[in-house]
Chains A and B, each alone.
Chain A
């Protein structure tokens, strides 16, 4: 039951360029979407989120876009830095249930 899907297991980007990570979902009951970043041997850390009533949320170099009709969200990182190299997980919540549903993750590598 893959309610949250990240179809790209990996992405390589040159330093300074834009990184775009994608996520699709199937459950229309989700009302918050989040991106987590994970380094090896560490737990996921919250990066940015968006409510389902919005279509864009920006925080510094990170912007999340939500297209509800397509059930698709994306994370843009501009400009990408080598320190951004990590696994990025898309996650979603329904609000009524206190649990995160994660995607399978995308390994981002930013090349210097």
Chain B
């Protein structure tokens, strides 16, 4: 079964450092997403990406965050200067769903656990 893969599975970084989380979406999918889950809290939407540009983003996705699809297969999330409160599990997801969004075709990766110290 096709799957979304994420690297690294766990990263520890010092506050203020830049972090890049990488994702390989399912190959024929056109829509890409990042979500995050702070420990003990709900999964939260960060950003969606389509046709090489951000289509939607949440309030969490401020200027410290950016996304990129550098080479047609990878989809990355960059946090420019990490803060303690960025510690969370970051989930990449992809879907091939066009038209009105029903949400039932999103595939999530296993997550990248980011610890900021």
Residues of A within 8 A of B (CB): 32, 34, 41-46, 49, 51, 89, 91, 93-105
A103, B4: Cβ atoms closer than 8 Å: no
A41 and B48 within 8 A (CB): no
Q: Which residue of chain A has its CB nearest to the CB of B99? A: A95
Contact of A49 among B35, B103, B109 (CB under 8 A): B103
Beyond contacts A91-B43, A95-B102: 5 other A-B pairs, Cβ-Cβ < 8 A, are A46-B105, A95-B100, A97-B56, A98-B33, A102-B42
A32 touches B103 (CB 8 A): yes
The interface residues of chain B lying within 8 Å CB-to-CB of A51 are 102
A93 touches B102 (CB 8 A): yes
14 CB contacts below 8 A, A to B, read A32-B102, A32-B103, A43-B4, A43-B109, A49-B102, A89-B42, A93-B101, A97-B101, A98-B48, A99-B56, A100-B103, A100-B106, A104-B41, A105-B42
Contacts of A34 in B (CB 8 A): 103-104
Task: For B58, give the chain A residue with the smallest CB separation.
Answer: A99
**Which residue of A is nearest B44, CB measured?**
A102
Give chain A residues whose Cβ lies under 8 Å from the Cβ of B93: 43
In the docked arrangement, what's the CA distance between A97 and B101, Å?
A: 7
Interface residues of B in 69-112 (CB under 8 A from A): 91, 93, 100-111
The residue among A44, A49, A91, A95 with the most chain B CB atoms within 10 A of its own CB is: A44
